[in-house]
Amino acid sequence: MALRQLQIVIHEDRRALLDGLIEGSGAVRDFAVSAGDGLVLVGVTIRMESVEALTDSILAHHKHDKGFRLSILSVEATHPKLPEPEEEAKQDPEKKWSPRFGRVSREELVEDIEGSAKTTPVSLIMVVLATVVACVGLLKDSPAVIIGAMVIAPLLGPNIALALGTTLGDLVMVRRAIRSNIIGLSIAISISVLVGLTLARGEGTSEITARTMVDLGDVLLALASGAAGAVAFTSGAPQVVVGVMVAVALLPPTSVCGMMIGRGDWLDAADSALLTATNVTCINLSATGVFLVQGIRPSAWWEKGRARGASIRAMVMWSVALVILAVLIVLSGFGSS
């Protein structure tokens, strides 16, 4: 059972209202100590899936209070244990499963994913180095080296950030994610074109050939992997994301596309670009669907309508794009047969 501790700094005069919000939330009050200047620090332990409902209530009533601050900390263990959800459900039949069960709060999710939407000097350097590693692995026909490149600079993060920004109607996050995607893919293609011009000669390796062959199985793989990546982030299990990076990597097909352009092999370049576009589309479609199913919404009621509209438009756009890509995949299969 994943636990969190909420630490709330609030003015003493507003303490009674906060206590009322905490009561009945399933949280256990740990302490309340003076923080000076008329402020008090209150700490409560609560199950991970119950955090969002309580923090939404607290923010709705206190976020404009002078001196207010809310922090969310991870708790490894506590004794005595909090009641299990099943036990609470037996005691209170009104408590049923909700989409929030088993996922982190919206604030934690945004904090984890938002950073991957930003373009920083470090992220750009990592993309450059990862592209070089990927190209060497492709030329040497080494799966181990290619996997290393996927882990060094995963381009999965910006796409998950794009899906989350769309779900929340956060235009700033959406713009950052799109920019990060464009810059990252552009750098990868540019470097791999240079590699194709200077190093890629003769017959392609099996690893290169694998990225120039795309079928409908790749669509299913990308959809499942994108959903798995979204679930991994929302469940607070980032170690699972590494496996998703390997399953539906964007860097190797992008590198192959650039190398084929450098060699002047436009047909293979188009096939690898088709694979890259398929992965991007499927990741965003499935991740947005997962976020919607899990009930991830903005906290303010006036933002929910805008976010819902943005999510619907995004789902329609990605679905149409996927249909077009599926048709192209089928046609490319006929052309190569």
Give me the residue spans of the domains in the chain.
3-91, 106-336
Angle, helices 216-234 vs 301-336, to 10°: value is 150
pLDDT surpasses 60 at 314: yes
Give the residue with greater pLDDT, 299 vs 216: 216
Tell how far CA 333 is from the center of its chain: 31
pLDDT at 93: 47
Q: Span 32-43, mean pLDDT? A: 92
Q: Span 7-19, mean pLDDT? A: 93
Lowest-confidence pick of 131-140, 146-155, 269-278:
146-155
Residue pair 38/12 in contact (Cβ under 8 Å)? The answer is yes
pLDDT at 94: 46
pLDDT surpasses 90 at 229: no
Task: Give the CB-side neighbour count of residue 174, counting CA atoms within 13 A.
Answer: 14
Query: pTM of the prediction?
Result: 0.82
Q: Span 2-11, mean pLDDT? A: 92
Q: How confident is the model at residue 201 (pLDDT cuts 50, 70, 90)?
A: low
CA distances from 302 to 60, 168, 170, 175 (A): 13, 12, 13, 21
pLDDT at 235: 80
Q: What token pair was written down for 33?
A: 């100590």
Residue pair 236/104 in contact (Cβ under 8 Å)? The answer is yes
CA distances from 13 to 41, 43, 65, 292 (A): 13, 17, 11, 38
Burial level of 246, CB count in 10 A (0-12/13-18/19+)?
middle
Residue pair 212/271 in contact (Cβ under 8 Å)? The answer is yes
pLDDT surpasses 70 at 167: yes
What is the average pLDDT score of the chain? 84
CATH class of 3-91: alpha beta
The single-letter code of the amino acid at 2 is A
Strand partners, 29: 44
Q: How confident is the model at residue 321 (pLDDT cuts 50, 70, 90)?
A: very high
User: Which residues have CB under 8 Å from 124's CB, separation 6+?
Assistant: 183, 184, 187
Q: How confident is the model at residue 336 (pLDDT cuts 50, 70, 90)?
A: low
**CA–CA distance, 32 with 41 (Å, rounded to integer):** 5
pLDDT at 78: 86
**CA–CA distance, 195 with 3 (Å, rounded to integer):** 49
User: Which residues have CB under 8 Å from 305's CB, separation 6+?
Assistant: none
Q: What is the pLDDT of residues 64-115, one digit of tens each?
A: 899 999 999 988 888 888 776 655 544 444 444 454 556 888 888 888 888 8
Q: Span 249-268, mean pLDDT? A: 90
Q: What is the pLDDT of residues 139-159, one digit of tens each?
A: 999 988 988 888 776 688 888
**CA–CA distance, 105 with 46 (Å, rounded to integer):** 12
**CA–CA distance, 187 with 127 (Å, rounded to integer):** 7
Q: Span 121-126, mean pLDDT? A: 89
pLDDT at 238: 59
pLDDT at 200: 63
Q: What token pair was written down for 198?
A: 């200077």
Give the residue with greater pLDDT, 13 vs 242: 13
pLDDT at 40: 94
